[in-house]
Amino acid sequence: AKELGRNAFCFYQRNMDEDAAERLEVEAALRLALDRNELLLHYQPQVHIASNQLFGVEALVRWQHPQWGMVPPARFIPIAEESGLIDAVGSWVLDEACRQMAMWQEAGQAPPHVSVNLSARQFRHGSVPTMVADTLLRHGLPPSRLTLEITESLMMMRNDQTLEALHALDEMGVKLAVDDFGTGYSSLGYLKRFPVSELKLDQSFVRNLANDEEDRALASAVVRIGQSLKLTVVAEGVETAEQLAFLHEQGCDVAQGYHFARPLAPDAYVEWLRGRP
């Protein structure tokens, strides 16, 4: 048993080293990726359920590595967060999304707004409002065309600097959305303290709506929380007409998911827009 234990320990140890080595490799490559223009954005449409009108698009970052191919954000965003690279990645994402919006606007193809994901880590410096204001100004984009998606964990940080930053963004006219709503914490008190205008019902509640009574109850509860607080509720990961019908019935405002479109490269978004009634 002792022998086995030691082997098991060695095995574990080696895995940890491999993990650490891989993280360092990804981190080094990500540093280069920013200079080499390997990052790009895809845009996923969000649709008003009742009217079928385009509500907005969410910008989702992609990494096209010359050897590794498409690296999903789940593989590099956490590493960017740990290493501090998230500030550079996050600034790039915001700049690129605003640049694209300005171009679409000129071409008469802009969605009503673009949503950009922000990591909690980006709020450590207190420079987010300035960065956002500068970026909007640089591209001549009105603040009302930008929504920032932040997770519940950020809202739960009882941190005056974060609260100040969110209020500054609100006063600027930028909208704030709570991403992955329902997955983080049970306290809803932060909804009162923070100037949010949108709740994003996490896709884990949407996935099994067809055959899970509990998920149906939770989804409809989230929609009602949103309604009573006069927040726009956006359901994520809507893949089927059945899920859409249920969400519509509950009074959910907006849906985003493969049922309408996958995250699309800019050209594909324009094509998708053309194909709409």
Q: For residues 118 and 111, what is the distance between their CA atoms, to the nearest angstrom?
A: 20
Residue closest to ligand C2E, measured at CB: 257
| Residue 100, φ and ψ in degrees, nearest 5 | -65, -45
Q: Applying CB under 6 A, does 239 fall inside the site for ligand C2E?
A: yes
- In whole angstroms, the minimum distance from the beta carbon of 190 to Ca ion comes to 17
Which of 96, 179, 198, 253 is close enough to bind ligand C2E by CB under 6 A?
179
Exposed e or buried b per residue across 119-142, where buried means at least 16 C-beta atoms within 10 angstroms of its C-beta: bbbbbbeeebbebbeebbeebebe
Q: How far is the CB of 203 from Ca ion (least distance, A)?
A: 6
CB of 89 to Ca ion, least distance (A): 15
Q: How far is CA 210 from the centre of its chain?
A: 25
Three-state SS for 201?
strand
Question: Can residue 115 be called a binding residue for ligand C2E (CB under 6 A)?
Answer: no
Q: Which of 91, 100, 117, 250 binds ligand C2E (CB under 6 A)?
A: 117
Sole binder of ligand C2E in the list 1, 4, 74, 241 (CB under 6 A): 74
CA distances from 216 to 42, 197, 221, 233 (A): 30, 23, 8, 15
| Rounded distance between C-alpha atoms, residue 236 and residue 51, angstroms | 18
| Residue 77, binding choice from ligand C2E, Ca ion, none, Cβ under 5 to 8 Å by partner class | ligand C2E
Q: Which does 198 bind (CB under 5 to 8 A by kind): Ca ion, ligand C2E, none?
A: none
Neighbours of 180 (CB within 10 A): 19
Question: Does the protein bind Ca ion through residue 179 (CB under 5 A)?
Answer: yes
In contact, 115 and 56? CB cutoff 8 Å: yes
**72 is a contact residue toward ligand C2E (CB under 6 A):** yes
Whether residue 233 contacts residue 205, with contact meaning beta carbons closer than 8 Å, is answered with no
Binding at 72: pick from Ca ion, ligand C2E, none (beta carbon under 5-8 Å per type): ligand C2E
With respect to ligand C2E, which residue has the nearer C-beta, 61 or 79?
61
Residues near ligand C2E (CB under 6 A): 44, 60-61, 72-74, 77, 90, 93, 117-119, 179-180, 203, 236-239, 257-258, 263
